[in-house]
Chain A
Amino acid sequence: MSEALSWVKVGTSTDGDIATAFQEALAQLDLPGLPKLLVVLAAPRYDLGAVAKGLAQSLPGCPVIGCSSSGEIGPTGALTHALVLWALGGSGVRVSTGLGETNGQGLRQAASQAAQCLNQVERRDHTVLMLLSDGLGGDQMEVVRGAYDVAHAEVPLVGGCAGDYLAMKQTQQLHGERVMTGAVVAAAISSDRPLGVGVSHGWTPVSEPMQVTGSKDTLLSSLDDRPALDVYLEFFQPAPEVQQDAKAFADFAATHPIGIRRRDKIEMRHITGFDAASRSLITVAEVPQGALAFLTEGDFQSVLGAAADSCQAAIEALGGSEPVGLLLFDCVSRRSVFSEARVQEETDLITSCTGGVPMGGFYTYGEIARTKGAGGFHNQTLVTLAIG
């Protein structure tokens, strides 16, 4: 029997032993052939290098990219401290991978370098560029801009920022057997069958609009000429420990992001911490100076509803083709809104929307989805890549 034009297989494990976890996830893949791409999404407790080495031995010649995560998604739904192997294959699928490091150059150049794999992949009818970057490595808008310099208007961008379970210390990226920090890894996926991207967040503004009067890169220093941290704390009046403890602040901020007014939407910016000395907020991507900003709050129902919107939009983008698999880039802050007790409700909803096609994914520090316009960096958002 000839191989399908495209297929997706997902294997997962939550076993604490790396060797066992790897073997378990690999066995679950039940591969019909050698994958064209294998994406590794691993909780920080797993050694990415060891996984890569195992893959090089078990699936020699298979292109591999991956990153550390802040929560994982498998076929059964949301997972914690798990290893996910997401495999893409098929006779109609072509893949080329790339990487760019920020050593001595900006994030934009690193992303452009990684995106050069687009110039190597054999082009079929439908192409996307998938990017995995270091969410703690600088203004992530630059990753989108750098990739767009290569992809142009023609190729959609999709992806997410590596995480570390809100420790906010270090994330990792994987290319082949190489494990890096501060890097951008990419896979150019080209297929005979359609590829769909969906994006939605469901967050709502709760404050009056304010002007961003001081901001540079990922440091938001003032709103309406007042220190941004003071404005933020005065408005939300969080518990006293939030104002003192970095971890407590990160947890709180995960469900209270900043929204920026764009032409016909509000774009979210995840707050990762604060700088007490300058009374500034630290964000994962630039909040442009001069912009109109809101303080926002996650509402369980609207955030949940957005998950269904994102998946449906991705599947609709397939133009009637049936999806063979999904890759989800879900913001870590959404997981915080749902809380661990109800996080499964989001993935259950996705499963019910998609009819149980193989899915995998991870909780990110920022999401990339560019299908129209030149921008495409998001926060507090669910980005879905549907493989037709």
Chain B
Amino acid sequence: MEPSWSLPLLSEILSAFSTEDPENLRNVLNRVAESVDAEVAAIICDGRIDWCIGLSAAEQGLLVQTAADEPPELAIRAGRLNTFWASMGSNDRLMVGRLGLAYDLEERSLLRAMARSIQLSLRLLAAISSERQARLDASYQASHDPLTDLPNRTLVLEKLAGWIDNPPQDGDQYTAVLFIDIDRFKWVNDAHGHAAGDEVLVHVSVILKRSVGPNDLVGRLSGDEFIVLTRTPSAQACTDLALRILTAIQTPIQVAGTELSHSASVGICIAEPHDTASSVIENADMAMYEAKALGRGGFALFEPRMRQKAQERLSLEEELRHAVGSGQIEAHLQPIVRLSDGKLMGFEALARWRHPEQGLLSPAIFIAAAEESGLIEQIDLIVLEAACQAVGRWQRLPGLGHLRVSSNLSGRTLGSADLVAHIDPILAASGIKVAQVFLEITETSLVEDIPSTASTIERMRQLGVQLAIDDFGTGYSSLLYLKRFPVGLLKIDRSFVANLGSNPDDEAIARAILSLAKALGVEVVAEGVETTTQQEWLTDLHCAYGQGYLYGRPKPMAAIEADLIKPLGPGTPLLDGQRPAAETIQP
């Protein structure tokens, strides 16, 4: 026997929900209407129509106006609709309208059951879709950087691996990676705070997205490191893209109320078929490193020799870390004399690395690695501590109380938040006269004028130490900084001193620095004095102090004590041990 006609129609409605096909959902009202040959079906919720078929916009307006009363009939252009209203939960109602014929009992039962089915199905679907959305969100979050919304390292590696494994069919396209690193990003963070740094990162992410093609992928690896994956017909096309990116990034932006100019360095690597995703990114990173070394704001294409270079750099860094921890870093002292009479006035402390195999290494070999790895902060403090201890002791000898010491602080050390907390106990323990301690910094460190540096300098001034500006005249000089900070000493760069007596321009500069220092009441030390001619010139120009091979090379403390301190008359040596033999420093 054929079952009741309405049962399979209800089954159809339930089936419509058995898949999550959105078209099926969209059709559900059509199915309801079709099941009873009705012209109109609508879902009405809180005085508005959520879904409707069969009525024009004007007729839907009429339905909304009268819906609260659930009228049994509704006049529309096509005629008089017999309506049936079925509840779909507390707020929603299903309205089905048919022209002419009223609904019989079976139809009303069917429609009620359908309304209930729709309600339950919608709830179920909402629950399912919200769970699915949560899963999608979680997967999105796991693969995207929350700040810039760019794919993160995981996704970039995954996509790149896919690109390498599935090269383009035409064979004329190569997969290339651009590794983009913002130059001096740490400075932005320090100078303007992390919020400003974040703004720059978002800005760069937008620029990258605008610069690349529709099929390229932009990702953020970490910090200020971005990646562009692209398919390129040639290395030239790739370097063109790098140039476009570099130009766009250089446009100044407004961040935290200031106009900020910044640059980036780009490393490019074109993937070979046997490469892995991480090796390609590593290669691009090395090329980026090369671009930075060539002077920021540029790009470099990966070459295999860079890997060797990077390995050397890494192993140097590792060795240096070991050296710092095992006492291989020493302070050597170079004398500073009064030019008028040659009297020893003090020393500049300089870092040397006593390498167990290679002998004594000069800073030229390890300073870049020290800066890069951050080890420079420890090295600066090691040198300062050793110098203060020695000079502090010598100051207590009769007739040597006037001795001064200068020690270098790198920009990175100066930016360290707890620098003063480290310096203070060093000074106290050494018993040195604090006013005779000069901390040498470069002009660039000052010009950067970052809030944390300014506050560090202020606190050092409170300690009583003085600042010396190293290599004066070679950087971005500003009188403002000389006035603003407690600068007690300027050191004329050796490049000007070298040409005294032969280059009138350098003589003019030296003269200008000296008269500036005089006007500001700041003392001057000329660096790199090697000849008596230079000494005479400087004396004539009324330069007070000099430092250079003419007066002595940097030497270990024991040698200094033996050669310079002892002859001045102290009875007992202050440093233990033998005077070391003459040494050769590795270039």
Binding site for B on A (CB under 8 A): 106, 108, 141-142, 145, 148-149, 152-154, 209, 211, 216, 261-264, 288-292, 372-375
Binding site for A on B (CB under 8 A): 2-3, 5-16, 18-19, 21, 23, 26-27, 30-31, 33-41, 53-56, 59, 76-78, 81, 98-100, 107
Q: Can you list 21 A-B pairs, Cβ within 8 angstroms, ordered by A? A: A141-B27, A152-B54, A152-B78, A153-B78, A154-B77, A261-B2, A262-B35, A263-B6, A289-B12, A290-B9, A290-B11, A290-B14, A290-B15, A291-B11, A372-B37, A372-B39, A373-B98, A374-B33, A374-B34, A374-B54, A375-B33
> B59 and A152: CB pair below 8 A?
yes
Q: Which residues of B contact A152 (CB under 8 A)?
A: 39, 53-56, 59, 78
| Binding site secondary structure of chain A | loop
Which of the residues A145, A264, A290 comes within 8 Å of B30, measured between beta carbons? A145
Cβ-closest 10 pairs across A and B: A290-B11, A373-B37, A374-B33, A290-B15, A153-B39, A375-B34, A292-B8, A289-B15, A290-B12, A153-B78
> B12 and A291: CB pair below 8 A?
yes
Which of the residues A106, A148, A289 comes within 8 Å of B53, measured between beta carbons? A148
Q: Which residues of B contact A154 (CB under 8 A)?
A: 56, 76-78
Which of the residues A108, A261, A288, A290 comes within 8 Å of B23, measured between beta carbons? A108
Which of the residues B9, B11, B27, B76 comes within 8 Å of A263, measured between beta carbons? B9
Q: Which residues of B contact A372 (CB under 8 A)?
A: 37, 39, 99-100
Q: What's the nearest-Cβ distance from chain B to residue A234, in Å? A: 21
CA distance A375 to B32 in the complex (A): 10
Known: A153-B40, A264-B37, A290-B8. 16 other contacts (CB 8 A): A108-B26, A141-B27, A145-B27, A152-B39, A152-B54, A152-B55, A153-B55, A209-B3, A211-B8, A216-B19, A262-B9, A263-B35, A291-B8, A373-B98, A375-B30, A375-B33
> A288 and B15: CB pair below 8 A?
yes
Q: What's the nearest-Cβ distance from chain B to residue A314, in Å? A: 19
Q: What's the nearest-Cβ distance from chain B to residue A44, in Å? A: 30
Q: Which residues of B contact A211 (CB under 8 A)?
A: 8, 11
Residue of B nearest to A205 (CB): B2
CA distance A288 to B21 in the complex (A): 14
Given contacts A145-B27, A148-B53, contact A373 B39 (CB under 8 A): yes
Given contacts A209-B2, A261-B5, contact A153 B54 (CB under 8 A): yes
Q: Which residues of B contact A106 (CB under 8 A)?
A: 23
Q: What's the nearest-Cβ distance from chain A to residue B114, in Å? A: 12
In the complex, the number of residue pairs spanning A and B with C-beta atoms less than 8 Å apart equals 107
Q: Which residues of A contact B98 (CB under 8 A)?
A: 373
CA distance A245 to B34 in the complex (A): 36
CA distance A289 to B18 in the complex (A): 9
CA distance A152 to B97 in the complex (A): 12
CA distance A180 to B182 in the complex (A): 53
> B11 and A153: CB pair below 8 A?
no
Q: Which residues of B contact A145 (CB under 8 A)?
A: 27, 30, 53
> B99 and A153: CB pair below 8 A?
yes
Q: Which residues of A contact B59 (CB under 8 A)?
A: 152
Q: What's the nearest-Cβ distance from chain B to residue A177, in Å? A: 32
> B54 and A288: CB pair below 8 A?
no
> B39 and A263: CB pair below 8 A?
no
Given contacts A153-B54, A154-B76, contact A373 B15 (CB under 8 A): no
Q: Which residues of B contact A263 (CB under 8 A)?
A: 5-6, 9, 35-37, 107
Q: Which residues of B contact A153 (CB under 8 A)?
A: 39-40, 54-55, 76-78, 81, 99
Residue of A nearest to B18 (CB): A289
CA distance A211 to B10 in the complex (A): 12
CA distance A368 to B19 in the complex (A): 27
CA distance A374 to B31 in the complex (A): 9
CA distance A142 to B54 in the complex (A): 15
CA distance A375 to B27 in the complex (A): 11
CA distance A148 to B31 in the complex (A): 13
Q: Which residues of A contact B21 (CB under 8 A)?
A: 216
> A292 and B54: CB pair below 8 A?
no
> B14 and A292: CB pair below 8 A?
no
CA distance A290 to B113 in the complex (A): 15
> B53 and A149: CB pair below 8 A?
yes
Residue of A nearest to B32 (CB): A374
Q: Which residues of A contact B27 (CB under 8 A)?
A: 141-142, 145
Residue of B nearest to A377 (CB): B34
Q: What's the nearest-Cβ distance from chain A to residue B64, in Å? A: 16
Q: Which residues of A contact B23 (CB under 8 A)?
A: 106, 108, 142
> A262 and B53: CB pair below 8 A?
no
Q: What's the nearest-Cβ distance from chain B to residue A142, in Å? A: 8
Q: Which residues of A contact B34 (CB under 8 A)?
A: 262, 373-375
> B13 and A290: CB pair below 8 A?
yes
Given contacts A154-B56, A154-B78, A261-B5, contact A374 B30 (CB under 8 A): yes
> B38 and A373: CB pair below 8 A?
yes
Q: What's the nearest-Cβ distance from chain A to residue B33, in Å? A: 4
CA distance A381 to B5 in the complex (A): 22
Q: Which residues of A contact B38 (CB under 8 A)?
A: 373-374
Q: Which residues of B contact A209 (CB under 8 A)?
A: 2-3
> B2 and A292: CB pair below 8 A?
yes
CA distance A289 to B31 in the complex (A): 12
Q: Which residues of A contact B81 (CB under 8 A)?
A: 153
> B54 and A148: CB pair below 8 A?
yes
Residue of B nearest to A208 (CB): B2
Q: Which residues of A contact B54 (CB under 8 A)?
A: 148, 152-153, 374
Q: What's the nearest-Cβ distance from chain B to residue A328, in Å? A: 24
Residue of A nearest to B55 (CB): A152
Q: What's the nearest-Cβ distance from chain B to residue A137, in Å? A: 15
Q: Which residues of A contact B9 (CB under 8 A)?
A: 262-263, 290-291
Residue of A nearest to B97 (CB): A153
CA distance A373 to B12 in the complex (A): 17
Q: Which residues of A contact B78 (CB under 8 A)?
A: 152-154
Q: Which residues of B contact A141 (CB under 8 A)?
A: 27, 30
Q: What's the nearest-Cβ distance from chain A to residue B217, in Å? A: 24
